[in-house]
């Protein structure tokens, strides 16, 4: 009995130290329950008082100015998964969604000459000159985080509602096959042609992970973990903006008095408008922005990340919003 208790105690202590260190813990498979539990992370939520809101309240007795506290915190918006084969989404319950949508992609890819219907890493293919290619291909999905409504908006005045809908497919690369496989028309955009524009990381700081444009499934990167992260960043870049040349659902809130949703995701800006939480192949209880260090890629090449974005809001206490003081 003593050995059993000691073993349990060691396991608990090891788990606590691992969570505190923010290092991903290896998991056999990723499911909805694990994703929901992982959202209970104070470091990712980052709740704080950020100001005071002023409201004009009028009644039959006259008008007065009332105040309410402005709060700011992060909300898990979506789970962005990258994988190498149709149906390979590491989120078990959502793997069937991408696999079912793969039938549409096969029809589209068959109409595109010279394009393979399969994914994976062509990095092992050698040309006649025996030069090794660093080009990789990733499928990707962005699905509404199952805990987005739990973290956001449950405590009026102290938590902000999320613009995301749980389990909503915001992006399925299998439905965006034309743009995702060809990079058209984004291959001709200035962001894709001018070195230094829209790149994740920096050449000067030796943290260059890859280019955001063209936002397709192909990426030149020898490190599979970094390749997956860049593809996830591309997906977040698409779904948080309107009018993009892709097949997707927009994940963007509308501002209103006393409610400030996040701006579109932008790389290399710190945690101003987003953070990432690694879910697979290792589940982390910490959030960071890419580039976020060196991690081992999954043996099967599949990965999943939770996209967190900051919301700011205050409780309505009058008929008219007069303004706010931020700090």
Q: What is the pLDDT of residues 181-223, one digit of tens each?
A: 999 999 999 999 999 899 999 988 889 999 999 999 999 999 9
pLDDT digit string, tens, across residues 41-60: 999 999 999 999 999 999 99
As a whole number, the mean pLDDT across the chain is 86
pLDDT digit string, tens, across residues 173-191: 999 999 999 999 999 999 9
7 has pLDDT over 70: no
Q: What percent of the chain has pLDDT over 90?
A: 72
* SS3 label, residue 326: strand
Question: Sign of torsion, CA 83 173 208 290?
Answer: negative
Per-residue model confidence (pLDDT) at position 131: 44
Per-residue model confidence (pLDDT) at position 104: 54
- Residue 170 CA to residue 78 CA, distance in Å, equals 8
Band of residue 297 on the pLDDT scale cut at 50, 70, 90: confident
Per-residue model confidence (pLDDT) at position 97: 82
The strand pairing partners of 220, in sequence order, are: 135
pLDDT digit string, tens, across residues 166-175: 999 999 999 9
Band of residue 26 on the pLDDT scale cut at 50, 70, 90: low
Per-residue model confidence (pLDDT) at position 5: 40
- 188 contacts: CB under 8 Å, gap ≥ 6: none
Enclosing H/E stretch for 105: helix 92-110
The strand pairing partners of 80, in sequence order, are: 142, 305
Query: Shortest CA distance to 277 belongs to which of 151, 176, 131?
Result: 151
Query: Shortest CA distance to 156 belongs to which of 76, 75, 69, 77?
Result: 69
Per-residue model confidence (pLDDT) at position 206: 87
pLDDT digit string, tens, across residues 226-276: 999 999 999 999 999 999 999 999 999 999 999 999 999 999 999 999 999
Indicate yes or no: pTM above 0.95.
no
- The answer to whether 278 and 229 have CB atoms below 8 angstroms apart is no
16 has pLDDT over 80: no
Instruction: Please state the domain extents for the chain.
Output: 25-45+76-147+168-310
- Residue 106 CA to residue 275 CA, distance in Å, equals 33
């Amino acid at each position: 009995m003593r050995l059993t208790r000691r073993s349990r105690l060691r396991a608990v202590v090891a788990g606590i130290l691992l969570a505190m260190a923010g290092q991903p813990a290896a998991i056999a498979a990723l499911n909805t329950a694990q994703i929901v539990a992982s959202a209970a992370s104070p470091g990712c939520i980052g709740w704080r008082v950020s100001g005071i809101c002023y409201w004009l309240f009028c009644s039959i007795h006259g008008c007065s100015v009332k105040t309410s506290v402005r709060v700011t915190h992060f909300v898990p918006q979506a789970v962005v998964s990258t994988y190498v084969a149709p149906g390979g989404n590491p989120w078990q319950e959502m793997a069937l969604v991408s696999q079912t949508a793969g039938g549409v992609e096969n029809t589209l890819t068959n109409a595109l000459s010279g394009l393979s219907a399969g994914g994976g890493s062509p990095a092992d293919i050698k040309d006649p000159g025996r030069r090794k290619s660093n080009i990789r291909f990733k499928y990707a999905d962005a699905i509404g985080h199952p805990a987005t409504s739990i973290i956001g908006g449950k405590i009026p005045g102290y938590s902000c509602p999320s613009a995301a809908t749980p389990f909503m497919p915001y992006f399925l690369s299998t439905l965006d096959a034309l743009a995702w496989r060809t990079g058209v028309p984004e291959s001709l955009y200035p962001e894709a042609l001018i070195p230094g524009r829209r790149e994740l990381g920096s050449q000067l700081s030796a943290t260059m992970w890859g280019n955001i444009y063209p936002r397709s499934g192909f990426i030149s990167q020898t490190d599979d973990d970094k390749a997956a992260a860049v593809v996830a960043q591309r997906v977040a870049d698409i779904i948080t903006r309107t009018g993009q040349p892709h097949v997707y659902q927009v994940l963007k809130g509308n501002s209103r008095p006393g409610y400030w949703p996040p701006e579109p995701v932008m790389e290399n800006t710190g945690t101003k408008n987003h953070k990432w939480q690694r879910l697979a192949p290792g589940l982390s209880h910490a959030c960071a922005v890419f580039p976020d260090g060196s991690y081992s890629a999954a043996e099967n090449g599949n990965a999943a990340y939770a996209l967190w974005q900051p919301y700011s809001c205050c409780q309505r206490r009058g008929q008219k919003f007069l303004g706010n003081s931020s700090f």
